Amino acid sequence: MLRFAAAVVYLVCYGASATAQRLAVTNPLDVARTEEIVDLPLNEVLRHVHAKEADQIVVVDDATKQRQPSQTYSTTGAAPDRFLILVKVAANATLHLMFQHDAHPAPLEPLVFGREATERKDDFAWENQLVAYRIYGPALQATGEIASGIDVWSKRVPNFVIDTFYQRDAEGQRTKNKALSYHKDNGQGLDSYEVGPSRGCGGTAVFADGKLFVSKNYATLKQLSTGPIRFSFEVTYAPWDGNGVEVTETKRITLDAGSRLNRIDSTYTFAGGQTIDAAAGLAVHKGGDPEQLQDGRVLSVWDTPQDPTAGRIATGMVSLDDHQSTIAAGHALMIFAVKSGQAFHYAAGSGWSKADMPTQQAWDDYLKLYLLQQQNPLQVHWGK
């Protein structure tokens, strides 16, 4: 199965014994890659750079001498096994990077952030400089509110808003001042996306007989990476009835700096050797306009917020995995035929008409460009 990744890279070395501290990153497209992560095997980097400690490696643009954001990352939740670099590469251009040793490198500015919001039940919220999202856990479920979709917070500022949104909302409740609610736009943005029992922006379900069979709120959560350029966590969902089949789910969600889309890897587990239809969905609220683009590899919804003065909320999904796309059960859906333990992969995210996504066409263009970049990865070459 074709894996979905932010930047799958091709490693071409000049001979088996080649060693170097220089990396060339080439963009094969005639459009610029504004911010994208180069994802390298950590052992490959250590071998080429002649380093023992990854946290003492600093990456520099050879032309500008500017340091490039980087971090180590674990795909397993154990020891790091990948080395990530955030790059910008012009159209049909090559970026030359140099690797340097620094025993005490200065901390990098965090470009991603997330945390459990214990002050608001056990919401889990995460963001980068462009977008913010949250999901709901067992404490909220205990109140009777079942919501296993993904919520969207709209923002127009590059600074992180999670802490200020929660602080302001709590103060508004304490003082009975509705103007402080995070459902009101204070210039930074607001929460005006209604999740309810829907799949929200990229939640999952079993799809059968034209209906969605959904889990309750997440049961357990494990944070895998906190940045500075990649935020990743994993949630599990307790067994639920998927139209006569008891199903459990493990879902990994990854948000990179510079991207509006979460990469989501979902695995359903169930008894027997049959195949079930697993769906990833975008809610379509009243007045929302769903579209299927690029032969169904892209789904786009120009959606309506709860507050009609809040413009339009754009949601979208992209996948390279085999699937069928449809509009059904109040959602734009991608349907993946999977066996137990077989993961499916897609990306889901959002934009806002009152920020930098003013029209549905602008949002569609963003999603189509994202797909094009996945189909044409950055190419990397080690050299002397």
Q: Helix, strand or coil for residue 203? A: strand
> Cα dist. 9→46, 100, 208, 371, 380 in Å?
17, 21, 37, 16, 6
Fold of 10-109+377-383: Immunoglobulin-like (2.60.40)
Backbone angles phi, psi at 56, to 5 degrees: -110, 15
Q: What is the per-residue pLDDT for 120? A: 87
Distance CA 34, CA 93 (A): 12
* Residue 11 pLDDT exceeds 90: no
Mean pLDDT, residues 25-33 taken together: 97
Mean pLDDT, residues 304-325 taken together: 97
Q: Which amino acid is at 107?
A: P
Instruction: Name the band, by pLDDT with cuts 50, 70 and 90, for residue 50.
Output: confident
Q: What is the per-residue pLDDT for 20? A: 55
Does the reported pTM lie above 0.85? Answer: yes
- Highest mean predicted confidence (pLDDT) among 20-24, 73-77, 253-257: 253-257
The three-point CA angle 145-151-155 to 5° equals 140
User: Using alpha carbons only, how large is the chain's radius of gyration in Å?
Assistant: 21
* Residue 301 pLDDT exceeds 80: yes
Domain ranges within the chain, ordered by starting residue: 10-109+377-383
Q: What is the per-residue pLDDT for 3? A: 43
Percent of the chain, pLDDT > 90?
89
Q: Which amino acid is at 256?
A: D
Distance CA 236, CA 289 (A): 31
